[in-house]
Amino acid sequence: MNELFYRHQMALMAVGRPRGASARHADFDLPGHYADRIDAYRARRGMSRYFAVARPEVTPIIGG
C-alpha cells in the first residue's frame, strides 16, 4: 500500500514537468492509474474509497 501511495505522489509531482521527446505515452494518466489501483486494493479489503470524488452540489463557487 505504501508503495502505491509513493508512486501516486511521484506521478502527481511529475505531471507538471516538461517531458522529453522519448516520452512514449504522453497522454497516459499515471496518477489516475495509481489512484485506481489504490481504490481497487482498498475495495478488495472492504475499506472505504481513498480518493473522494467532489460532488458539484457541495463544491463552493468562489466569487459567485
Domain ranges, residue 42: 1-8+30-52
| pLDDT at 8 > cutoff 80 | yes
36 and 7 Cβ atoms separated by less than 8 Å: no
CA dihedral 40→42→46→50, nearest 10 degrees, is: -110
In a domain, 38, yes or no: yes
In a domain, 48, yes or no: yes
Counting residues of the chain whose pLDDT is more than 90, the rounded percentage is 0
**Structural domains counted in the chain:** 1
| pLDDT at 30 > cutoff 80 | yes
Q: How many CB atoms lie within 10 A of CB 12?
A: 13
| pLDDT at 29 > cutoff 70 | yes
What is the average pLDDT value for the chain, to the nearest integer?
75
In a domain, 23, yes or no: no
Query: What residue type is assigned to position 33 of the chain?
Result: H
In a domain, 1, yes or no: yes
